[in-house]
Amino acid sequence: MILAEGLGKTYVSGGRPLPVLKDVSLHIAPEAFVAILGPSGSGKTTLLGLLAGLDEPSSGRVCLDGVDLTTLTEDQRAGFRARNVGFVFQTFHLLPTLTALENVLVPLELMGGQQARDLRDGPRGLLERVGLGDRVDHYPTQLSGGEQQRVALARAFANRPRILFADEPTGNLDQETGGVVIELMETLNREARTTLVLVTHDLTLAARAHRIVRLAGGRVVEDTGVGAGPTAEIAGPRAEPAGPQAELGEA
């Protein structure tokens, strides 16, 4: 369960405070599949980073599975993420000196212990599932943008995270490859019971989510999960998609 209370984030830009997230509160049930939508600059990436414990809020707090991230040190947060969280960055963040396979193994190095050793056979299969079985020894510079994105996805799955955050995971993919990636995430959501929180402009992807949270100007302006209780989004096969067509015109 993800619980965000009164989240705010203010950057300092040119000596002036720039509030980009304002009083965001969210309850996300275990095994939910939530899509965060909103125009460019509305704070989606910032929100995802705070929910995942990659960044610290200026106000409010985030609890993941009962752990208040704001009470942890940076090292403790990193350890918590290594065990529980997968993250697909909008800009991939692959390590340039490592091959595709080595990149996907990184989360297991960070995790360590027997649990990581048990998962060591996974990365090759994950790369095969995203269609990169013949690219495992390629370095990021030898891969196209879409291929790098798929490596980033495979890497985010490597530690079998309980919660997967993905920032526009199909943003650089053609429709067919995007479909494979969406399917992989849905399978993970269903079979591995992974909570999915995605930022997307992809209508196909948004329509598959069980819940839509829409941001504008750093605030939640629509949340199809509100009022129905914290477990609403896992009740029933698929909640009504909240008219993702409205996204068409957005950046």
Does the protein bind ligand ADP through residue 43 (CB under 6 A)? yes
- Exactly one of 28, 45, 195, 211 binds ligand ADP (CB under 6 A); which one? 45
Question: Would you count residue 46 as binding ligand ADP (CB under 6 A)?
Answer: yes
> Rounded distance, CA 201 to CA 5, Å?
25
Instruction: Tell me the C-alpha distance between 194 and 161, whole Å.
Output: 7
> Is 120 a binder of ligand ADP (CB under 6 A)?
no
Residue whose CB is less far from Mg ion, 94 or 132: 94
Residue nearest Mg ion (C-beta atom): 45
Contact 233, 34 (CB under 8 A): yes
How far apart CA 157 and CA 107 sit, in angstroms, is 9
Instruction: Considering the complex, state which of residue 46 and residue 103 has its C-beta at the smaller distance from Mg ion.
Output: 46
Name, in order, each residue with C-beta under 8 angstroms of 114's C-beta and a sequence gap of 6 or more: none
Which of 41, 146, 217, 230 touches ligand ADP by CB under 6 A? 41
**Quick one: which of 237, 251, 228 has its CA closest to 28?**
228
Q: Which of residues 10-39 bind ligand ADP (CB under 6 A)?
A: 11, 13, 18, 20, 38
Q: Is residue 42 a contact point for ligand ADP (CB under 6 A)? A: yes
Judge contact between 242 and 212, C-beta under 8 A.
Answer: yes
Q: Which helix (H) or strand (E) holds 216?
A: strand 211-216
Tell me the closest approach of the beta carbon of residue 20 to ligand ADP, in angstroms: 4
Residues engaged in binding ligand ADP (CB under 6 A): 11, 13, 18, 20, 38, 40-46
